[in-house]
Amino acid sequence: MTQLQGAAPLGATVVAEHGPTDPRDQRPVRGRKKVGIGKVIAWIVMVIILVITIFPFYWMLRTALSSNGALYGNSTSLLPADFSWGGFERVFGLQTVDEAIAQGGSGAKLDFWRYLLNSVVVATCVTVFQVFFSAMAAYAFSRLRWRGRNAVFGLFLLSLMVPVIFTLLPNFLLVRQLGLIDTLLGIMLPSLFMAPFAIFFLRQFFLNVPHEVEEAALVDGASKVRVFFSLIVPMSAAPIATISILTYITSWNDYFWPLMVSYTDDSRVLTVALGAFRAQSPQGGPDWAGLMAATLIAALPMIVLFALFAKRIVNSIGFTGLK
């Protein structure tokens, strides 16, 4: 590939530069001179992939709105089999035990409002504290001058390499020693203080804020603390929003850690509740309508979040390759 030599030295660093850029800024892809057979086949493959991607979401909805009895006779129609809100009613504990069992539920007490609330509390607290503390650290690593800065930052980078699994068992023991088993605080605690990735991510943006702006504020007598809160943070609102959304999604979807810590409804989050729901199958087969209703409830907030912020999330992907 000798003819490559004239190319701009872009290299592996370019991934980093794919920030919230407008996709229209990207260089245009080849002109459409010939709409050949190749292009038609390519579109067909693309559509098939999109259908595979989206179909399970639809099937979740379709099943959630069916009634269990009818699913046995009609497991293939695209519309709900014998439309019913029963699945959702069971999941939110709106049916009596007898009703639930009659409709193919397990009759076990379910209270998804509770789990939904727990998930919201955990994801919200983790996001707020983690992003705030990570932003503070990122500020110290990017805009403050102090001895040992690079060495300490190196330690944080090192922690990016520690696989999560390895910290889970000892962290469980620590949370147990603190008496926080089966509490929401116990679930949140390990991720409240920081995430190495968030620090890393925000530092890149803080480094980019022009020094002139900061110096002008300092000359005017502002303290460095004030510079952080009223200058750096507002100027980096977009990346802070991005990392917040990503943190929220990650926290919401976490399963392994909450599974270790939570034992009762007090601290059960949606993902764990789903696993438990699936495990308590009634006689005569699972309560599919209820299970899919529950699954949909767990997925819905993320789908809504995504619908609102799709562009921001999609455009941040170049960065999150580290995650």
Q: Return the residue of 2, 3, 150, 264 that touches another protein, per CB under 8 A.
A: 3
Secondary structure E strands in the chain? none
SS3 of the chain: helix, strand, coil, percent, to 5 = 70, 0, 30
Q: Is 226 in the site for another protein (CB under 8 A)?
A: no
Secondary structure E strands in 90-172? none
Tell me which residues in 32-51 interact with another protein (CB under 8 A).
38-39, 42-43, 45-46, 49-50
**CB of residue 97 to another protein, shortest distance in Å:** 23
* Residue 91, helix vs strand vs coil: helix
* Per-residue binder mask for another protein (CB under 8 A), 169-188, x = binder: xxxxxx-x------------
Q: Is 124 in the site for another protein (CB under 8 A)?
A: no
* Nearest to another protein of 7, 98 (CB atom): 7
287 in Cβ contact with 67 (< 8 Å): no
User: End-to-end CA distance of the chain, in Å?
Assistant: 32
Number of residues that bind another protein (CB under 8 A): 130
**CB of residue 314 to another protein, shortest distance in Å:** 5
Selected range binding another protein among 90-98, 106-114, 136-144, 229-237, rule: CB under 8 A: 136-144
Selected range binding another protein among 97-105, 108-116, 202-210, 235-243, rule: CB under 8 A: 202-210
Helix residue ranges per DSSP H, 82-111: 86-91, 97-102
Q: Is 235 in the site for another protein (CB under 8 A)?
A: no
Tally of CA atoms within 13 A in the half-sphere of 45 that contains its CB: 6
Q: How far apart are CA 189 and CA 195, in angstroms?
A: 12
Q: Is 212 in the site for another protein (CB under 8 A)?
A: yes
**CB of residue 210 to another protein, shortest distance in Å:** 5
Which tokens sit at 43? 């579109």
Q: Is 164 in the site for another protein (CB under 8 A)?
A: yes
Tell me which residues in 68-107 interact with another protein (CB under 8 A).
71-72, 75-76
- Using CA atoms of 260, 261, 266, 270 in order, give the dihedral in degrees to the nearest 10: -50
**CB of residue 293 to another protein, shortest distance in Å:** 11
* Residue 109, helix vs strand vs coil: coil
Residues 6+ apart with CB under 8 A from 202: 134, 135, 138, 236, 239, 240, 243
Tell me which residues in 250-289 interact with another protein (CB under 8 A).
252-256, 259-260, 271, 274-275, 278, 285, 288
Q: Return the residue of 102, 136, 185, 233 that touches another protein, per CB under 8 A.
A: 136
Q: How far apart are CA 237 and CA 209, in angstroms?
A: 12
Q: Is 16 in the site for another protein (CB under 8 A)?
A: yes
Contacts of 208-214 with CB under 8 Å at 24 or more apart are 209/143, 209/235, 209/236, 214/143
Selected range binding another protein among 86-94, 95-103, 107-115, 310-318, rule: CB under 8 A: 310-318
CA pseudo-torsion sign 193, 197, 202, 207: positive
Selected range binding another protein among 84-92, 95-103, 107-115, 163-171, rule: CB under 8 A: 163-171
Q: Return the residue of 79, 94, 97, 157 that touches another protein, per CB under 8 A.
A: 157
**CB of residue 77 to another protein, shortest distance in Å:** 10
* Nearest to another protein of 121, 174 (CB atom): 174
